Amino acid sequence: MVRDVFTVLAVTAGGFFFLAGTVGLLRFPDTLTRLHALTKADNLGLGLVVLGLLPRMQGPLGMLKLVAIWLLVQLAGATVSQLIARAARPGGPPP
């Protein structure tokens, strides 16, 4: 019961961050602020979803896999947003 409540709360909070990130991506005025919105969805949103799903996994191996997915998405997201930000910066290299 406690685990269910925890999962529902964490996944809902994660979903909220995804929603907020998407709204930001659509509404923010320029590339850098949009990137800011997007990375929030990636880091916090997915992180909370993963956190909420952790108690659902059967064993520690499944939990490790979930956390590894989150870390890999973080790595990819951070790298890509750096590259996009550099390309978007005035005087930066062409995209």
Partner 1 sequence: MTIALALDAGLAVLVLAVASWTVGARATFPAVVGFVSYGLLLTLVWVRLGAVDVALTEAAIGSGLTGALLLGAAARLRAGEAPAEERPGAILRLVAAALSATVAAALAAAVLFLPDPAPTLAPAAAENAAATGLGNPVTNVLMAFRAMDTMLEKVVLLLALVGVWSLAPDPLWGGRPSPSHQSDPHGVLAFLARLLPPVGIVVGIYILWAGADHPGGAFQGGTILAAMWLLVMMAGLTEPPPVSRRRLRLVLIAGPAVFLIVGLGGLWLDDAFLAYPVAYAKPLILVIEFAMTLTIAATLGLLLAGPPERKLGR
| Residue 82 in contact with partner 1, rule: CB under 8 A | yes
Question: In Å, what is the CA distance from 35 to each residue of 41, 49, 70, 85, 92?
Answer: 10, 20, 18, 8, 16
Binding to partner 1 by CB under 8 A, coded x per residue (else -) over 12-51, reads: ----------------------------------------
Contact 54, 44 (CB under 8 A): no
- Which residue type occupies 30? D
Contact with partner 1 (CB under 8 A): which of 72, 87, 89, 92? 72
What minimum distance in Å lies between the beta carbon of 20 and partner 1?
20
Contact 15, 49 (CB under 8 A): yes
**Residues in the site for partner 1, rule: CB under 8 A?**
72, 75-76, 79, 82-83, 86
